[in-house]
Structure 1
Amino acid sequence: MAFATEMDRVARLLAEDGVRAVIPEDIDVAAELGSQSSYNQFKRAVSRAHIAKVRDPRTIGILVINFDKHGMRSYIGPNTFAEIAVAFADRKRIYVLNGTPNMYADELSAWGVTDLAGDLGPLVEQYRHLCRQDRSQLKLPWS
């Protein structure tokens, strides 16, 4: 959840364009939970809940909010990569906001991930097109 603020901003922008989005719960509560064991249990529950949203048949895809972090261009963390893999396995559309990091470039390319290069326009257009085809697909969870 390194980019939680950016996720909220992008969710608002998408809402302005009529795109419904679901963002993961903020899991940055380690200090409040006390022990590492309690934190791990909480994090597993939050991850399972979010993955269930990704796997929901009404979900058409995921949007990965990625920026530079830890000296890496277009950083995607391990949890987000796992979410991408689940979305790919369930044949969901996958978008990355700001490029693909070199360490995942081969997989993301092979999986047909769309790089938006910072422009939400193509995602919004595709969402509207899909919703005109099937009104039951009205959610777009992302990380």
Structure 2
Amino acid sequence: MEKKHIVICGSMSNYEEMLKYQNILIKNNIPCLVPENEGELIKHLSRDEFNEFKRKVSKRHFEEIINNNVFAILVVNPTKNYIPNYIGANTFAEIAIAFYKQRQIFLLYDIYEGFKDELIAWDIKPLQGNINSLIEQYNSCIYSQTK
């Protein structure tokens, strides 16, 4: 049986931070995935090519979220453009899909004010920057499943 994993989500402007937390989780023996990095590639695409690329990578990441071996999603949501706990449109779509598929959803930081009602109603778990809380919950769940 494949080990449960975590899908990391967030604004691509936070890609380095997503990689940082991916490394922390991997060091704690927790498999995880990050979205495909747009990076330098998008600078060389026409608008139509970019839109096609964005559709493709978004669909691929949505497919990862609905995979039956997903333990949870981790949303990396630091301050962006002076907006605390920022969650953009694509990340909110990922959260909605995870909610619909009954995945656990963790925010690395706190609730984003712009989607506060939905995030609270959907029982999203803000970690307040404490990744160890997620690691403990993962290990506790995995341990109880192996008994």
Consecutive unaligned residues of structure 1, counting only runs of 5 or more, are 136-143
Tell me, yes or no, if structure 1 residue 30 matches structure 2 residue 42: yes
The structure where strand makes up a greater share of residues is 2
Identity of matched residues, %: 34
For residues 88-138 of structure 1, the C-alpha deviation after alignment (integer angstroms, 9 at most, x for no partner) is 000000000011111111110100000000001111111112222346xxx
Give the TM-score, by structure 2 length.
0.87
The match for 2:54 among 30, 33, 43 is 43
Tell me, yes or no, if structure 1 residue 20 matches structure 2 residue 31: yes
The structure where helix makes up a greater share of residues is 2
Give the TM-score, by structure 1 length.
0.89
Once residues 37 and 145 of structure 2 are traced to their aligned partners in structure 1, the CA distance between those partners, rounded to angstroms, is: 31
The total of aligned residue pairs comes to 134
Once residues 36 and 134 of structure 1 are traced to their aligned partners in structure 2, the CA distance between those partners, rounded to angstroms, is: 47
Tell me, yes or no, if structure 1 residue 104 matches structure 2 residue 115: yes
Runs of 4+, deviation exceeding 3 Å? none
Aligned-CA RMSD value: 1.1
Once residues 76 and 101 of structure 2 are traced to their aligned partners in structure 1, the CA distance between those partners, rounded to angstroms, is: 20
SS at match of 2:13: coil
Consecutive unaligned residues of structure 2, counting only runs of 5 or more, are 1-11
